[in-house]
Amino acid sequence: MSSSLLVANALAPWIAASVLGAVAVGLVVAVLSRRASTMRAELEAEYRDYSGALSRERETLSTVIETMAEGVVVAEPDGRFVIFNSAARRIVDRDPVDVPPEEWPETYRAFHSDMTTLLDADELILRQAIRGVEPEPLDAYFRHDDGGGVHVRGIAKPVRDEDGALLGGALVLHDRTERRRIEGERAALIEDLESRNRELGRFTYTVSHELRSPLVTIKGFLGLLAQDAEAGNAERLALDMERITEAVDTMGGLLEDLLELSRSGVVVDAAGTVDLGGLIREVVRVLDGPIEGAGAEVRIADNLPTLHGDRTRLFEVFQNLIENALKFMGDQPSPKIALRVREEDEYTICCVSDNGIGIAEKDRERVFRVFERVETSVEGSGVGLALVKGIVEAHGGSVWVESGEAGVGSTFCFSLPRRAPNG
């Protein structure tokens, strides 16, 4: 056997083992690489699913934020905005502007709730939040270009990642304008109710006071009547009875006035159409006697409008005001009364002016209260102007004395809404 054959024989098992090993390694590598590519494909598919879900989530979230009624603003620690939804743009009345946080109050015209004091940069809760501070909620007002604005309650919080590192701050703005309007209306209503209550208290006091004095008179004269009857003094008896009758008449008159006053709020047809010119001329015709008696000149403006109201009740208003103008002329040698009408906003304003004794500033409010009289030398009950007030207010208007210093005369005006009720 040759030596080379010997070597070959000796190496044969080793070579066989090596070849087998190589084949086995090749197989393992192939299997492993196939598995690796399967894993890679699986991982890629998983990643695609994950990023798809993530982007769907992001889309949903941004749609929700964009359609929210609340303003949402998210900023990075340096003040750059990441989110500024459309409600926030509507609230601040502008698009976000890239300015440093110190300039936010002026840029977005952010005021305190008093609507006049500009917020200090340090007071901005979003600015505090992007610095990692957790601020208290803040009530503020954003002024708009058109002169209006929005009242808000703002809540801000710092935004952090799971390790607590600061990512920025988020601000939610809740529009409270409507709520404030309702609160304001409620406060005005309560104030109105309280003032009516006070007026009612005053009214009850005055009425009982006025009714008491004829009662006291009656009681006094009834005592005298008994004495005079006992003494058989027929002359004094007649006088006593006359006084009692007078007091009873006074009381009857007061009750009559009160009854009429109680009816002043009853407006039968506030939506009726009234030709003001025709109405005033008719009142003047009815008062022809007293006007001539006073030697007064009555001027009625031309082109008077047609308005809405209860003709019968408005007739009483003009009659009362013209009668008063005649009654309180004092010693004016050439009495003049003028009737004018003007349109102001939603109202028609009617005024009756005279050149009589006038009313001092301090008395201009109280003359509209029942039984309140300033000039007592002239006959009257002090109910006329209270009646006028009641009728005008039942129409949705108001009444006032516009001018009138002593000696210069008075101008009584009242307003009536131009639009018919429910019209």
Q: Note the residues at the interface with ligand ADP (CB under 6 A).
A: 324-325, 327-328, 354, 356-359, 367, 372-375, 380-386, 410
Residue with tokens 């840029």: 107
Q: Which is nearer to ligand ADP, 260 or 275 (CB)?
A: 260
Least distance from ligand ADP to the Cβ atom of residue 199, Å: 15
Cα angle vertex 231, ends 229, 232, to 5°?
60
Which lies closer to ligand ADP via its Cβ, residue 180 or residue 336?
336
Nearest distance in Å: CB 358, ligand ADP = 6
- What is the rounded CA–CA span in Å between residue 414 and residue 265? 15
- Measured from the CB atom, is 91 or 367 closer to ligand ADP? 367
Q: Report the run of H or E that residue 402 belongs to, with start and end.
A: strand 399-403
* Beta partners for residue 75, in sequence order: 81, 169
The three-class DSSP label of residue 369 is coil
> What 3-state class would DSSP assign to 54?
helix
- The single-letter DSSP state of residue 186 is H
The structure tokens listed for 141 are: 């007002």
Sort 187 into a burial class: Cβ within 10 Å, 0-12 / 13-18 / 19+. Answer: exposed
Structural contact between residues 330 and 403, judged by C-beta atoms closer than 8 angstroms: no
Using the minimum distance from each CB to ligand ADP, give the nearer residue, 119 or 388: 388
Q: How far is the CB of 331 from ligand ADP (least distance, A)?
A: 13
Residue 217 CB, nearest distance to ligand ADP (Å)? 20
* 260 versus 375: smaller Cβ distance to ligand ADP: 375
Rounded Cα gap, residues 207 and 205, in angstroms: 6
Least distance in angstroms from the C-beta of 356 to ligand ADP:
5
Q: Of 1 and 259, which CB lies nearer to ligand ADP in the complex structure?
A: 259
Residue 326: CB minimum distance to ligand ADP, A: 8
Give the CA-trace dihedral at 74, 77, 82, 86, to 10 degrees.
40
* Encoded amino acid at 118, one letter: L
- Give the residue with the Cβ less far from ligand ADP, 308 or 327: 327
Q: How far is the CB of 385 from ligand ADP (least distance, A)?
A: 3
Whichever of 282 and 372 has its CB closer to ligand ADP, that residue is: 372
Minimum Å distance from CB 207 to ligand ADP? Answer: 14
Backbone phi, then psi, for 123, in 5-degree steps?
Answer: -85, -15
Q: What is the DSSP string of 202-242?
A: HHHHHHHHHHHHHHHHHHHHHHHHHHHHHHT-HHHHHHHHH
DSSP 8-state code for residue 268: S
